[in-house]
Amino acid sequence: MKYWKILLKEQRDKGKSGLSIPFIIGSQAYLPFKNHSKQSISELLIDISQNNSFETSLRYCMNTQTLILEVRKTKNAVYFPKYKGNEQKNLSVAISFDNLGESIEEIIKELEDRFKEPIDKQLFSAEPNSDKRTAVWRKYTDYEDIPFITNSFKKLKN
């Protein structure tokens, strides 16, 4: 099973919503395989859209003030962006006030722009802060984030 699938399922099993894209991208540093090439945002979204066993949804999280990926909740209204002009049904995007684009290529460009700074600074975790208008990024915590990632990755097979 892919690393991002495990993380999203583990997060859901904890009764929580999804994970930010920087969180998923940064988690690759803890993969137990030496020969794993790290995915970029582009590679992650294309992977999700083309190789999925469950529908993954991209939506805005009011608690952290950022976009998250999650196992889709059926109550959320979504659309399915096209990839290379073709229909796909693995990656959905919540219908909201923030139009991210009609294609996966447009969405990738928007997300790369949006998350370049926190990823470059290795600030992968968004703090809950429903009182602010933007995400507050921080490094992974030793007491919660890193144990969650490493425990989740124990289920991976090379």
| Domain contains 9 | yes
Residue 35 pLDDT:
78
| Domain contains 15 | yes
| Domain contains 158 | no
| Domain contains 62 | yes
pLDDT, tens digit, 9 for 90 and up, residues 30-58: 998 877 789 999 999 999 999 877 889 99
| Domain contains 70 | yes
The DSSP element (H or E) to which 19 belongs, if any, is strand 19-20
Total domains in the fold of the chain? 1
Q: How is residue 29 written in tokens?
A: 């540093």
Exposed e or buried b per residue across 81-106, where buried means at least 16 C-beta atoms within 10 angstroms of its C-beta:
bebeeeebebbbbbeeeeebeeebbe
Considering only CA atoms, which of 63, 64, 91, 62 is closest in space to residue 78? Answer: 91
Considering only CA atoms, which of 131, 117, 114, 113 is closest in space to residue 63? Answer: 131
Contact residues for 61 (Cβ-Cβ < 8 A; gap 6+) = 17, 18, 20, 67, 68, 126
Q: How is residue 87 written in tokens?
A: 């229909």
| Domain contains 17 | yes
Q: How many other CB atoms are found less than 10 A from the CB of residue 60?
A: 14
pTM over 0.85: yes
| Domain contains 131 | yes
Residue ranges making up the domain that contains 93? 3-153
Mean pLDDT calculated for residue range 126-134: 81
pLDDT, tens digit, 9 for 90 and up, residues 48-102: 999 877 889 999 998 899 999 999 887 788 999 999 999 999 999 998 766 788 9
| Domain contains 35 | yes
**120 burial via Cβ count (<10 Å: 0-12, 13-18, 19+):** exposed
